[in-house]
């Protein structure tokens, strides 16, 4: 399990891989203070200078979008919060020991990854990012300190037996055993042989013996599925072992038995189920090791998230009283009981969503603000309400804030059940979930003019070989393989294959469409012939074949519905205040924005901040 996306975003991927980002570094090299410009803000007394912020802003993708209007203060605040958090983390990890050999190892790995192992190439790389070798090593040392601080924190986390068992109760379904079968199969390459073998089996022939004689898979083991090497006894296997159409037929045989011949993927399957092993909940003792490993990781993630929040909350931030080229806005936007939600919290959620930069780039930034900010605020309100419920319950919830909010909903609805009628209704109301989609094998052949396309189609139907004919006429053949509706086909092709009942001419196994005219670039048209074979209609699976799956999905849907109703009740009872719309309105510029804005209403230190002292206890590097 991984740390929450929100936490990872806050620390720019430190937890994942500090150096995987290549030429983008988390911190800015410290040059001569007189050359770094005036201080813009102080974090725990340490200055962040103007040029340092400018360098950081240049590597921030949101600034490259040239935000205007209400977006500008929102992005400024997002950027400054990241800078503040990173600086606070750097300071907190300053006493962690990192040896010169550890730094050298990371530098060597970085150079190898970037292909700059020679001195000249390395110097060019340093120049391109504005670093000296010494500055680069200092920044890598800082990153390693933070990584070690995080690792140190995770190692200190201990999991109690009560926490592990409670986690298991909430996530019992993740450890449940699937339905399994002990079975033998005969896999063949042609219909005629498959039909012949099937008749022999119906007549009482020994399945294992015929598998040894005919099967293209596992013949030496008598077709035993899941058998150990050298054994001819089937082992328990799940649905994943078989192609989907085969699995659907096999797992209907709950009392054992044999399937008919099933064709899929160009092969023919006959499967004999010797024993059906129903799935279900597994006792805690049988999965205790897995549960403890998962739960410990969840608890560690929560500890890291709490650490980052605490380091940021402890940071004393002061902006200078001069005009600065950034706006920092962080008012309260919502209140849940005695807990407040700040604008910066909402900003973090919104700009962590990859859709938002894309919308801004498309000129839809104002739309993104009006949609995503209210939604993110509501998300944080819900999260806070659920965290309060988790705290009040007295139960040992663990993990990040988001994890606890999710788990308290599972806890609240853990005793919910579904009736057979509810399962059947869910099956009927959600046919797409229980259907095998339509499919077909498709090729297209494209030409630059209709006359050649018509000639190709005529000769193909007359019996000329497809590949040779297309090549001789200058056609471009695209083999799309086996496709389904909605699988990314060009719209015209999908329409021809699945949405119409076109009467195709025949060319061997292939159905051949009429020539289709397609628009191209620079008014140059393309003429396409679509070839289709092995076309199969959508098939809804029988209820009995998917009953267990339908029950799980129906239960999940019912629990989600009840949890949503519970959350609505909590909001009404708590008297939630939500002012995000008013706050966003106050940020919208009333007149043209000046080149610089007033600094936040926070005074600078009365005396210049002292230079950063060397961390005590630092070893020789």
| DSSP calls for 402-428 | HHHHHHHHHHHTTT----HHHHHHHHH
- The residues facing 478 across adjacent strands are 444
Determine the CATH number of domain 438-537: 3.10.50
- Residue 529's SS3 state is strand
pLDDT at 26: 43
Rounded to whole angstroms, the Cα distance separating 116 from 129 reads 14
- Residue 79's CB: how many other CB atoms inside 10 A? 20
pLDDT at 578: 96
Q: What percent of the chain has pLDDT over 70?
A: 89
pLDDT at 332: 97
Rounded to whole angstroms, the Cα distance separating 270 from 2 reads 42
8 A C-beta contact, residue 264 and residue 248: no
Residues sharing a CB contact under 8 Å with residue 560, sequence separation 6 or more, in sequence order: none
**pLDDT digit string, tens, across residues 225-257:** 999 999 999 999 999 999 988 998 999 898 999
pLDDT at 19: 32
Rounded to whole angstroms, the Cα distance separating 336 from 230 reads 65
Q: Which three-class secondary structure string do you get for 255-310?
A: CCEECCCEEECCEEEEEEEEEEECCECCCHHHHHHHHHHHHHHHHHHHHHHHHHHH
Rounded to whole angstroms, the Cα distance separating 600 from 569 reads 38
Mean pLDDT by 10 residues, the chain (621 residues): 39 35 40 65 94 80 84 94 94 95 94 91 87 89 94 96 97 92 96 95 95 95 94 94 92 93 92 93 94 98 96 95 87 94 96 91 90 96 97 97 97 96 97 91 94 95 94 94 88 87 85 89 85 90 88 96 96 92 91 52 40 35 36
Residues sharing a CB contact under 8 Å with residue 304, sequence separation 6 or more, in sequence order: 3, 7, 15, 150, 153, 154
pLDDT at 1: 38
Q: Left, alpha or beta for 619 (phi > 0: left; psi -120 to 50: alpha)?
A: beta
Rounded to whole angstroms, the Cα distance separating 535 from 527 reads 23
Rounded to whole angstroms, the Cα distance separating 524 from 517 reads 11
Rounded to whole angstroms, the Cα distance separating 71 from 78 reads 10
Residue whose entry in the numeric block shows the structure tokens 């410290």: 30
- Residue 222's SS3 state is coil
pLDDT at 618: 36
Rounded to whole angstroms, the Cα distance separating 334 from 378 reads 9
**pLDDT digit string, tens, across residues 544-578:** 888 888 999 999 999 999 999 999 999 999 989 99
Classify burial at 203, counting beta carbons within 10 Å of its beta carbon; exposed 0-12, middle 13-18, buried 19 or more: exposed
> Cα dist. 441→438, 485, 516, 527 in Å?
11, 12, 18, 20
Tokens representing 238? Answer: 């799940």
- The structure's pTM equals 0.77
Classify burial at 351, counting beta carbons within 10 Å of its beta carbon; exposed 0-12, middle 13-18, buried 19 or more: buried
Rounded to whole angstroms, the Cα distance separating 390 from 410 reads 11
8 A C-beta contact, residue 114 and residue 23: yes
Residue whose entry in the numeric block shows the structure tokens 């949503």: 564
Rounded to whole angstroms, the Cα distance separating 490 from 574 reads 51
Nearest partner of 304 among 615, 26, 6, judged by Cα: 6
- The residues facing 86 across adjacent strands are none
Residues sharing a CB contact under 8 Å with residue 559, sequence separation 6 or more, in sequence order: 409, 410, 413, 416
Radius of gyration, CA atoms only, the chain? 32
Task: Examine domains 178-277 and 438-537 and report if their fold is the same.
Answer: yes
Count of residues for the chain? 621
- The domains of the chain are located at 178-277, 438-537
Determine the CATH number of domain 178-277: 3.10.50.40
pLDDT at 36: 63
């Amino acid at each position: 399990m991984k740390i929450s996306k929100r936490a990872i975003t806050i620390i720019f991927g430190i937890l994942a891989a500090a150096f995987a980002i290549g030429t983008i570094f988390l911190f800015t090299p410290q040059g001569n203070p007189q050359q770094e410009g005036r201080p813009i803000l102080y974090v725990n007394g340490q200055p962040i200078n103007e040029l340092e912020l400018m360098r950081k802003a240049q590597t921030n993708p949101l600034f490259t979008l040239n935000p205007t209007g209400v977006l500008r203060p929102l992005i400024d605040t997002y950027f400054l919060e990241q800078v503040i958090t990173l600086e606070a983390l750097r300071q907190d990890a300053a006493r962690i020991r990192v040896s010169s050999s550890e730094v050298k190892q990371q530098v060597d790995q970085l150079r190898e990854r970037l292909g700059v192992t020679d001195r000249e190439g390395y110097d060019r790389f340093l120049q391109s990012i504005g670093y000296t070798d010494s500055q680069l090593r200092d920044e890598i040392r800082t990153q390693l300190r933070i990584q070690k601080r995080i690792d140190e924190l995770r190692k200190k986390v201990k999991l109690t037996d009560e926490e592990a068992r409670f986690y298991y109760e909430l996530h019992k379904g993740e450890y449940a055993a699937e339905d399994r079968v002990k079975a033998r199969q005969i896999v063949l390459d042609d219909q005629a042989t498959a039909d012949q073998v099937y008749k022999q089996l119906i007549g009482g022939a020994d399945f294992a013996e015929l598998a040894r004689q005919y099967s293209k898979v596992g013949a030496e083991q008598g077709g035993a599925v899941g058998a150990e090497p050298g054994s001819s006894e089937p082992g328990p296997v799940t649905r994943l072992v078989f192609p989907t159409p085969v699995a659907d037929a096999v797992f209907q045989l709950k009392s054992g038995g044999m399937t008919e011949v099933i064709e899929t993927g160009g092969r023919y399957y006959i499967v004999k189920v010797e024993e059906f092993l129903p799935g279900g909940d597994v006792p805690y003792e049988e999965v205790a090791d897995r549960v403890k490993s998962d739960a410990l990781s969840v608890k560690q993630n929560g500890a890291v998230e709490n650490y980052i929040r605490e380091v940021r909350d402890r940071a004393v931030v002061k902006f200078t009283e001069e005009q600065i080229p950034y706006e920092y806005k962080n008012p309260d936007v919502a209140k849940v009981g005695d807990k407040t939600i700040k604008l910066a919290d909402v900003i973090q959620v919104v700009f962590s969503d990859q859709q938002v930069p894309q919308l801004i780039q498309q000129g839809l930034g104002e739309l993104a603000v009006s949609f995503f900010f209210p939604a993110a605020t509501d998300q944080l309100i819900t999260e806070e309400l659920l965290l309060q419920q988790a705290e009040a319950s007295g139960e040992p919830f663990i993990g990040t804030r988001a994890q606890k909010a999710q788990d308290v909903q599972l806890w609240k609805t853990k005793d919910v059940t579904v009736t057979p009628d509810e399962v059947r209704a869910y099956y009927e109301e959600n046919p797409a979930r229980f259907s095998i989609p339509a499919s077909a094998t498709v090729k297209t052949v494209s030409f630059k003019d209709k006359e050649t396309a018509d000639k190709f189609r005529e000769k193909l139907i007359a019996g000329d070989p497809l590949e040779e004919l297309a090549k001789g006429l200058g056609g471009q053949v695209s083999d799309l393989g086996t496709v389904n509706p909605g699988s990314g086909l060009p719209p015209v092709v999908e329409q021809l294959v699945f949405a119409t009942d076109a009467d195709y001419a025949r060319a061997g196994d292939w159905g051949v469409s009429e020539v289709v005219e397609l628009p191209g670039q620079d008014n140059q048209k393309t003429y396409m012939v679509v070839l289709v074979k092995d076309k199969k209609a959508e098939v809804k699976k029988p209820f009995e074949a998917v009953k267990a799956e339908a029950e799980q999905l129906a239960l999940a849907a019912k629990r989600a519905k009840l949890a949503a109703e519970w959350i609505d009740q909590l909001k009404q009872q708590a008297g939630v205040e939500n002012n995000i719309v008013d706050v966003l309105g106050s940020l919208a510029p009333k007149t043209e924005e000046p080149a610089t804005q007033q600094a936040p209403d926070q005074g600078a230190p009365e005396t210049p901040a002292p230079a950063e002292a060397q961390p005590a206890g630092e070893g020789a590097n």
